[in-house]
Structure 1
Amino acid sequence: MTEVKECGSCIDEGCSAKGRRPDEQDQDYVERQQLARRMCRIGHKIVVLSGKGGVGKSTVAVNLAVSLSLRGERVGLLDIDIHGPSVPQLLNLDRFQVEGNGDSLLPIRFSDNLKVMSIGCLLRDRDEAVIWRGPRKYGVIKQFLKDVEWGDLDYLIIYSPPGTGDEPLSICQLIEDLEGAVIVTTPQQVALLDVRKSITFCKELNVPVLGVIENMSGFACPKCGEVTAIFRNGGADSMASDMGVPFLGRIPIDPCIGIACDEGEPHVIRNADSETAKAFSLTVESILSIEKGTNEIKEKESSIMRIAIPVAEGKLAMHFGHCEQFALIDTDPETKTIVKVAMETPPAHEPGVLPKWLAEKGANVIIGGGMGSRAQSLFAEQKIEVVVGAPADLPENIVKAYLAGTLASGENVCDH
């Protein structure tokens, strides 16, 4: 368990709460110490943002928090959407009321490993409207951080309303050691334009962007699990590459998610074997690899197999030399799982350039639709295995099939 620190006796010389700031009032100093005392007991603080509403950010935040808790992590989920709190409904907690313990507020327990706090659990009537301006919203967010008795947590996932207004600004200013932001978007250009603003917001506030999640990325058939593109694919990973931030993965549309949300049961629990639940699991793996990218990841580096997929408009490009990007997908051959997905923009296509570049990127395998014999020999010189004749599908689907030994490869579509 994390040792409880008192600001007066804390030995962390780097803690800003040890000393009073110039011109800081007594009450402000006391409250800042109270907040720091709570946050000191939490390992990673991650805020979930979006540039636009309606992208499924609350569903993503809830299922990410639940997924982390199912892995044995101690998780807190803080809903700072003051005007439209939806987390209580998504977890079937809207009938519970927050209780107090002296000067502290006790979060509601969803499970042994997941605690939840939302203003929705403080309202007397579910139809009650919260009509507040910025200063009052700042005050209640500050209260959630300094007065809620979170205890020892591995992760605090903070769900913020869309945009770059009072709520996300308050949380980024109040938590001095915020680990970073996960930004949710959909594939449409109108959503991607606003996500770019969210990334700029984070950079201006010195908040690391842990990565971008593309939600509603295709339709997952509830019967067979096959994912079919509805919107244009590849927008989020291309935008993430352009903005210099990681791409964490795609989550397809699944009608079962809507049913699970309405009935207050997390999708990753209710439909654990669905393609969408597996997509959430892959996203959590990506976050964990960023957050814990120390000993555990380094120990597994030698056994990781990196597979390169040429991509155009979100799917495998049939001619690898004409692709827009490469998906570099780290896999664990032992467990046959995807560990991490990254998108990279290749250099200009010239003979011999891409094999050398992919070797420098650590690729062990390249899967393509077509490739000439000369290119295949150049990849062989770089000790990169070549698989050709793959279908124009999502990179993650191709890699899953390859790991399972079920990749249906056709003829090499390139003969030069």
Structure 2
Amino acid sequence: MAHSCQHGDSACSGGKAHADKDEDRLVHEQLRRIGHKLLVMSGKGGVGKSSVAAGLAIALAQRGFRVGLLDVDLHGPSIPKILGVQGSFHVDDQKRLVPHALTENLHVVSIQLLLDNPDAAVIWRGPVKHGVIKQFIAEVHWGDLDYLIVDCPPGTGDEPLSIAQTIPDVHAVVVTTPQEIALQDVRKSINFCRRAHVPILGLVENMSALVCPHCGKEVPLFGAGGGRKTAERMHVHFLGNLPFDLRVVEAGDAGTTLGLVQSENGSYANALNALTAEVIQRCSPPADFQDQEIRREESEEKTAMEPNVLRIAVPTAEGRLCNHFGHCEKFVLIDVRGSEIQNRTEVTPPPHEPGLLPRWLADHGVGMVIAGGMGRRAIGLFEERGIRVLTGAPTDDPQNLVRRYLEGTLECGANVCDH
């Protein structure tokens, strides 16, 4: 629909900017109420990505977690068919879309539920798709969730990129099958995640083997072990594999996947339960990390009341500066006001993923990093987040380094990790 404006271009652009800010605010408010956000993606179609997303969502909900399943495969949505979801959305009193409640703990949103004709083709360009995906987060009443599972179309196009831009703390679950043509495409997905700074939770090998319903013997229809080998080669965690099960195919066609997963106790259920347990473990920080988060929140509240405080991070190993910041044991966070050191805390970094630490340290309120060595790409990522990087620092106690920096006596040499 054409837009006619009587107020001039500046008024229109100002109104659009205001609307964009309102939507960004709504997105931020919604995401704060969601614990873990998982982007299920694949390099090519036909690997059972949507079945994996649906199975994982059901299994998490069965364990008592509050789960949202968001289908952003705008051109070929499969989730409603797989789960037997029909009808359209309801709207609450605040004019927000209410997700379809598949079970008490599992709620579903898909573009399919907005179409009058399920066979209608959605013909949209990238900017329109990006806007719709933001609306699916901002204008849907998700409520409080433990997990949001996002099912993306195959490939590395608009939809996964929009999710990466809209959900800053999303983690990717990459799905593949064992044969080489699928593995070739999944390597592209892994490289996409690294370029888009999306941490990879892990790789899932789907259709790993056909389990004979008569003798129970496994038949490697598409080869064997390719997913695990690719995970090792690409330095990605291997989450597990799921067998090729004809009942899963039949349930997806009949829309009875929920019933199958809830009642099945064979090889597929065992594999799905193992995969779900691995996902939960990877998503849940250890107890000491949770304690650090509590201390961090308390420290951030104090910092928020004192706007002139600078938080400096120093990567350490055995209590002294670690030359390779990406593989350090801990980060020491030192709060400085003026020329005085006010507070010192230690935090354990998450498992190393390219592009993760700049985001993680920014979330901790860090404004400066003192390091021995750091690659140029990592320095650029820190600078994009407004974090200054000082490299070439000597191996010493972090507090001594910060004190010498404040005194102007810290002598730094060459960047020992300039690559």
| TM-score relative to the length of structure 1 | 0.63
Aligned partner of 1:252 among 232, 243, 254 = 243
Distance in 2, Cα, partners of 1:88 & 1:271: 20
User: What are the residue-to-residue correspondences of 1:90-169 with 2, within 5 Å?
Assistant: 90-93=82-85, 95-101=86-92, 102-169=94-161
% identical equivalent positions:
47
Say if 1:225 and 1:274, in contact at 8 Å, map to a contact too: no
- Which range is displaced more, 217-226 or 184-193? 217-226
Deviation of 1:227 after TM superposition, in Å, equals 2.0
Structure 2 match to 1:198: 189
Alpha carbons of 1:271 and 1:255: their partners in 2 closer, same or farther (altered >3 Å)?
A: farther
Distance in 2, Cα, partners of 1:108 & 1:225: 37
Over residues 294-336 of structure 1, what are the superposed CA-to-partner deviations in whole Å (9 max), with x where a residue is unaligned? Answer: 13999xxxxxxxxxxxxxxxxxxxxxxxxxxxxxxxxxxxxxx
Whichever residue aligns with residue 132 of structure 1, its letter is W
Distance in 2, Cα, partners of 1:225 & 1:278: 14
Distance in 2, Cα, partners of 1:120 & 1:226: 39
Structure 2 match to 1:235: 226
Structure 2 match to 1:33: 25
Distance in 2, Cα, partners of 1:223 & 1:155: 37
Whichever residue aligns with residue 155 of structure 2, its letter is G
Deviation of 1:76 after TM superposition, in Å, equals 0.2
User: What are the residue-to-residue correspondences of 1:8-407 with 2, within 5 Å?
Assistant: 25-93=17-85, 95-101=86-92, 102-178=94-170, 180-266=171-257, 268-269=260-261, 271-295=263-287
Say if 1:79 and 1:118, in contact at 8 Å, map to a contact too: yes
Alpha carbons of 1:225 and 1:296: their partners in 2 closer, same or farther (altered >3 Å)?
A: farther
Find the residue that maps to 1:115 and give its secondary structure: strand
Q: Aligned-pair RMSD on alpha carbons?
A: 1.7
Over residues 325-369 of structure 1, what are the superposed CA-to-partner deviations in whole Å (9 max), with x where a residue is unaligned? Answer: xxxxxxxxxxxxxxxxxxxxxxxxxxxxxxxxxxxxxxxxxxxxx
Find the residue that maps to 2:172 and give its secondary structure: strand
Whichever residue aligns with residue 218 of structure 1, its letter is A
Over residues 97-147 of structure 1, what are the superposed CA-to-partner deviations in whole Å (9 max), with x where a residue is unaligned? Answer: 111123311000000000000001110011111111111111110100100
**Unmatched runs of 5 consecutive residues or more in structure 2:** 1-15, 291-419
Deviation of 1:204 after TM superposition, in Å, equals 1.0
Whichever residue aligns with residue 113 of structure 1, its letter is N
Whichever residue aligns with residue 246 of structure 2, its letter is P
Deviation of 1:262 after TM superposition, in Å, equals 1.5
Query: How many residues in Structure 1 have an aligned counterpart in Structure 2?
Result: 273
More helix by share: 2
Whichever residue aligns with residue 62 of structure 1, its letter is A
Say if 1:220 and 1:276, in contact at 8 Å, map to a contact too: no
**Unmatched runs of 5 consecutive residues or more in structure 1:** 1-23, 299-416
Distance in 1, Cα, partners of 2:209 & 2:112: 32
Deviation of 1:230 after TM superposition, in Å, equals 2.0
Deviation of 1:249 after TM superposition, in Å, equals 0.8
Whichever residue aligns with residue 141 of structure 1, its letter is I
Deviation of 1:231 after TM superposition, in Å, equals 2.3
Structure 1 match to 2:369: none
Distance in 1, Cα, partners of 2:103 & 2:181: 37
Alpha carbons of 1:154 and 1:254: their partners in 2 closer, same or farther (altered >3 Å)?
A: same
Whichever residue aligns with residue 30 of structure 1, its letter is D
Distance in 2, Cα, partners of 1:182 & 1:288: 12
Over residues 202-251 of structure 1, what are the superposed CA-to-partner deviations in whole Å (9 max), with x where a residue is unaligned? Answer: 11111111111111101012344332222221111111111111011111
Find the residue that maps to 2:24 and give its secondary structure: helix
Structure 2 match to 1:303: none
Deviation of 1:271 after TM superposition, in Å, equals 4.7
Distance in 2, Cα, partners of 1:271 & 1:227: 22
